[in-house]
Amino acid sequence: MRRTQVYLRDEQDTELKRLAERTGRGQSELIRDAIDLLLRRQSACDWRDAFRGARGMWAGRDDVVADMAEARASIRARFAAD
């Protein structure tokens, strides 16, 4: 674990102390948990952003339509044989 310094607004400090007292957990533990929550949320957003960024990437490519039709036909043929 690494030690770091964080500046809190007065109201954040007050509420953090209250939460620590109410839950019986240390302020550092609560801060670490909040950071973990933020990082998990950010990771969840990353894949959505990448997905949105890919929108339209095949627009205007006529060859893709033919390739997809061929791939679908191949898959249907494989399943029909089973």
Cα 65 from chain centre: 31
- pTM comes to 0.54
Query: In the predicted model, what is the mean pLDDT of the chain?
Result: 88
Residue 67 reports pLDDT greater than 80? yes
Reduce the DSSP state of residue 49 to 3 states and report it.
helix
Between vectors from CA 29 to CA 18 and to CA 3, what angle results, nearest 5°? 120
Reduce the DSSP state of residue 56 to 3 states and report it.
coil
pLDDT digits (tens, 9 = 90+) for 34-52: 999 998 887 766 777 777 8
Q: pLDDT over 90 for what percent of the chain? A: 52
pLDDT bin (cut points 50, 70, 90) of residue 3 is: very high
Average pLDDT, stretch 3-28? Answer: 96
Which value, to the nearest 10 degrees, does the dihedral of the CA atoms of residues 47, 49, 51, 56 take? Answer: -170
Q: Contact, 6 vs 31, CB < 8 A?
A: yes
